[in-house]
């Protein structure tokens, strides 16, 4: 409807305003494109002021990066899935299950040869995770089932199997001591004034790889094409099934990697971890500007989304906000992000 609200004419969405295409460079377009980084910057400033600068200390910033690294890694894979128009609810359970499987594998090898043991653990986690993703992806593509329901089933299966594999008890025994480096170690001493945690390094590598994949590769373009018009993609010779299968395989593999790193961080494989991760991960992706309807998504956006959530959690902790209230604040922020997204993109369109 064309209604005058606060004096600005708002055009209906259906309108194709200009037969020769839209102007691409203008202040509003930039503001729309950079809306989430702007929100992140504002959050950082507010957090710094409210905590008297504690937030902005290097140790704390490194801490934030470490806190988001696991979920951000999975969020990169989830960005691909959501961009195809899909979803994966099984990621949290899969982290727990692969962590357990990797621990069992490592226990089997024995801690005598630590590097071989860790290598086998990593391999077991990634292969089992990717295998689980293959199963979900195959069911989704072969039987044309909605990803929501398939991965909801997968979520329960992975959670249950995780408990079954370790008989319900966390595994502490038989893990090589050197494994701790993978979860809590540091690399590149001297850089960043202090050091770079291994999980953050892995996340940054994942960021680079998935950015390249989505923004610059034939595979990524296929992902976007499928999400924006699956039939058009198929009729243009895009291998739709294979591409859709692949995004679940990749995300499953990431879950396996994170599962091993998480066990390494705790020096224990706990079948209870990863609860609610699927929703945190989806929140990071959506706050980062990826459309739940598919066809639009970026990896840098997802990193910003994960950072927004991470900064918020961290600063609320620093401010000693009660845990229950933290959840409320986080929920409100996610809603505000969605509203801002809708409002600003309408503004961008109506020009």
Assess 11 for contact with other proteins (CB under 8 A): yes
Stretch that binds other proteins, among 11-19, 44-52, 252-260, 307-315 (CB under 8 A): 11-19
- 214-225 burial, b for 16+ CB within 10 Å, e for fewer? beeeebbebbbb
Q: Tell me the closest approach of the beta carbon of residue 217 to other proteins, in angstroms.
A: 5
Task: State how far the Cα of 146 lies from the Cα of 91, in Å rounded to an integer.
Answer: 16
∠ Cα 241 245 250 (to 5°): 150
Smallest gap, in angstroms, from Cβ of residue 54 to other proteins? Answer: 42
219 near other proteins (CB under 8 A): yes
Q: Using the rule CB under 8 A, is 216 a contact of other proteins? A: yes
82 binding other proteins? (CB under 8 A): no
**Among residues 7, 19, 189, 193, which is the contact residue for other proteins, using CB under 8 A?**
19
Least distance to other proteins, CB of residue 250, Å? 14
Identify which range of 96-104, 123-131, 166-174, 213-221 contacts other proteins by CB under 8 A: 213-221
How far apart, in whole angstroms, are the C-alpha atoms of residue 289 and residue 296? 8
List 6, 7, 14, 144, residue binding other proteins (CB under 8 A)? 14
Closest among 206, 182, 201 to 78, alpha carbons compared = 206
Nearest residue (CB) to other proteins, 224 versus 312 = 224
Q: Could you say which of 114, 131, 292, 296 contacts other proteins (CB under 8 A)?
A: 296
**Residue 7 in the binding site for other proteins (CB under 8 A):** no
Residues within window 224-253 making contact with other proteins, judged by CB under 8 A: 224-225, 228-229, 231-239
C-alpha–C-alpha distance, residues 284 and 281, integer Å: 5
Q: Residues 22-51: x/- map of binding to other proteins (CB under 8 A)?
A: xxx---------------------------
Nearer to other proteins, 243 or 280 (CB): 243
Rounded to a whole number of angstroms, the minimum distance from the CB of residue 20 to other proteins is: 5
Distance CA 238, CA 199 (A): 35
Give the whole-angstrom CA distance, residue 201 versus residue 209. 12
Does residue 142 belong to the site contacting other proteins (CB under 8 A)?
no
Task: For other proteins, give the closer residue by CB, 10 or 329.
Answer: 10
Return all residues near 84 (Cβ < 8 A) that are at least 6 apart.
Answer: 223, 226, 227, 243, 244, 247, 294
Q: What would the DSSP string read from start to end of 112-172?
A: TSHHHHHHHHHHHHHHHHHHHHHHHHHHHHHTT--HHHHHHHHHHHHHHHHHHHTTTS-B-
Does position 1 bind other proteins by CB under 8 A? yes
Burial environment of residue 33 by CB neighbours within 10 A (0 to 12, 13 to 18, 19 or more): middle
Shortest distance, CB of residue 296 to other proteins, whole angstroms?
Answer: 7
Among 5, 7, 21, 189, binds other proteins (CB under 8 A): 21
> How many C-beta atoms lie closer than 10 Å to residue 85's C-beta?
19
57's CB contacts (< 8 A; 6+ apart) are none
Which residues would be at the binding site for other proteins (CB under 8 A)? 1-4, 9, 11-12, 14-24, 212, 216-219, 221-222, 224-225, 228-229, 231-239, 295-296, 351
């Amino acid at each position: 409807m064309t209604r005058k609200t606060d004096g600005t004419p708002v055009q209906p969405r259906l309108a194709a305003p200009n037969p020769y295409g839209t102007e691409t460079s203008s202040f509003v377009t930039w503001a729309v494109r950079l809306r989430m980084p702007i929100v992140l910057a504002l959050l950082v400033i507010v957090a710094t002021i409210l905590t008297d600068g504690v937030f902005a200390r290097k140790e704390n910033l490194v801490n934030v990066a470490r806190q988001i690294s696991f979920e951000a890694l999975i969020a990169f894979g989830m960005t691909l899935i959501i961009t195809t128009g899909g979803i994966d609810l099984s990621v949290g359970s899969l982290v727990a299950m692969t962590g357990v499987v990797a621990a069992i594998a490592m226990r089997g090898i024995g801690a005598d040869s630590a590097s071989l043991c860790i290598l086998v653990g990593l391999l077991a986690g990634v292969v089992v995770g990717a295998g689980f993703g293959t199963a979900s992806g195959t069911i989704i593509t072969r039987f044309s089932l909605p990803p929501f329901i398939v991965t909801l089933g997968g979520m329960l299966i992975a959670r249950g199997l995780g408990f079954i594999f370790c008989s319900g008890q966390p595994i502490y025994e038989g893990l090589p001591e050197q494994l701790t480096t993978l979860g809590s170690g540091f690399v590149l001493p001297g850089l960043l004034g202090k050091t770079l945690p291994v999980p953050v390094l892995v996340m940054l590598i994942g960021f680079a790889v998935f950015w390249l994949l989505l923004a610059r590769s034939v595979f990524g373009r296929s992902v976007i094409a499928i999400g924006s018009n699956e039939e058009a993609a198929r009729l243009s010779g895009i291998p739709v099934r294979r591409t859709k299968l692949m995004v679940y395989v990749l995300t499953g593999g990431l879950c396996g990697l994170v599962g091993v790193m998480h066990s390494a961080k705790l020096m224990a494989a706990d079948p209870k971890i990863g609860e609610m991760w699927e929703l945190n991960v989806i929140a990071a992706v959506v706050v980062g500007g990826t459309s739940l309807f598919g066809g639009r998504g970026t990896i840098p956006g997802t990193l910003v989304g994960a950072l927004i959530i991470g900064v918020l959690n961290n600063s609320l902790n620093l401010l000693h906000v009660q845990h229950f209230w933290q959840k409320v604040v986080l929920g409100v922020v996610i809603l505000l992000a969605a509203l801002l997204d809708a409002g600003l993109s309408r503004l961008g369109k109506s020009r």
